[in-house]
Amino acid sequence: MSSYKEILDCLRTSFLSGKTRSEQFRISQLEALERFLEENKNTIIEALAKDLHKSTFESEVSELSMVRTEINFAINNLRSWMKDEYVDKNLATKLDSAFVRKDPYGVALIIAPWNYPIHLTLIPLIGAISAGNCVILKPSEISANSEKVIAELLPPYLDKDCFAVVSGGVPETTQLLELKFDYIFFTGSPNVGKIIMAAAAKHLTPLTLELGGKNPCFVDKGVNLSNTANRIVWSRFFNAGQTCVAPDYILCDTETRDQLVPALRDSVEKFFGKEPQKSPDFGRIVNDKNFQRLKAMLGSGKVVVGGETDENDKYIAPTVLVDVKETDPVMQEEIFGPILPVLTVENVEKAVEFINQHERPLALYAFSPDNKVVNHVLDRTSSGGFCGNDGMMHMTLISLPFGGIGNSGMGMYHGKYSFDTFSHFRACLLRNTGLESLNTLRYPPYSERNLGLLLQAIETKRRGFCSIQ
């Protein structure tokens, strides 16, 4: 097998040849990616079932459909995205052409996670292809069956001179990060994100970090308990809780907690039956390491729903905890599993205060019958994304950017935001070769008269009048 540097050099040669820049080439690769999904659909679904016990329904909704949507949206809009954007000019450049050119970065490295191994590998790839980049793709070795599908079945569909898939674990990723890429896109934990960022800094490589965190979910008094419980249970226990935007913990007052817990229990039973382990719709923990980590969290607070485990099956029941303290293990890191702690606060102000005392999350949720309360939480907090009166549904809109802030990441993608992320916005000014007399104002020897005229030609004046009393 070629060394990673040889692969990178080959891709960079292809990029510098201009091969990836045409609209026709980009469309052809996106269409090839769509064929990969369609022709290998059953194999992909089987791999996801082996890796995560993911149901066909969840695989279709959260993996295949979202990728297809991104491909179709990119193909439908690529021509307009690629066009130069002409900008306003000052008096000094009125006769010139000023525009923003969307240039590809070059060769991008995409490092994907294990929890949505198709979706979170291919959607960044769609953005990179759309923007005209070459790519080295590194799927996660933890979801081994999905990694094998991508490594063995995807490459024949894509141009081998422009795209490559690299398998392996930490040693292989470390070797890749020693090389100079033109862009890095990483999805994973904040701790690993710091390692990726440090490696990128050695080469001053721009990057996007899609990380995670503890996503708060405030539940106000007076909510429709059944509807609220359904939406929280669905979003928390989808993919067995192994979702970066899942609600990580609930904040509510004591009275609401006592009403909400039975509703949560009812929703769990309605969705997964009295024995969720037998449900075909409930997933499993990806490996023993994560199973043991999650099992240890069950000692926090008091179990009021679920709590059962089966090590051989890597099964942890949909679980709700109460009487949880801020210092308990379950509150020290992103849970990333089917455990939902409920913490009590006096009111929405105390909830906002609690949220703002912690790292800014990837997502934040607020349930209330009063839109003023939802908007209050929105106005007074900061997070990557926000959804009122539901969980995770903002992810279904590719018209919205997806990304974190602070400890939950930097940068954004989905839809056109993916194209923009993998594009360098190049400032361009094409000037007239004549009319030199207009340029004499800026040439030495300088004079007060020329300074005044030049400032008139290049300065922007304020419109109207604004007075702050």
* Pairwise CA distance, residues 155 & 163, whole Å: 7
3-state helix, strand, coil in the chain (%, to 5): 50, 15, 35
Distance of alpha carbon 49 from the chain centroid: 23
46 contacts: CB under 8 Å, gap ≥ 6: 145
Catalytic-role residue among 58, 70, 147, 210: 210
* Pairwise CA distance, residues 350 & 365, whole Å: 15
Token couple for 70: 């991104």
Tell me phi and psi for residue 455, to 5 degrees: -65, -35
Active site (annotated) includes residue 244: yes
> To the nearest 10°, the Cα dihedral for 393, 397, 401, 407?
20
Catalytic-role residue among 217, 244, 252, 387: 244
Q: In what order do the strands lie in the sheet with 163-165?
A: 163-165, 134-138, 107-111, 183-187, 207-210, 409-410
* Pairwise CA distance, residues 437 & 43, whole Å: 69
CB-count exposure of residue 327 (10 Å: 0-12, 13-18, 19+) = exposed
Active site (annotated) includes residue 448: no
Show which residues are catalytic.
210, 244
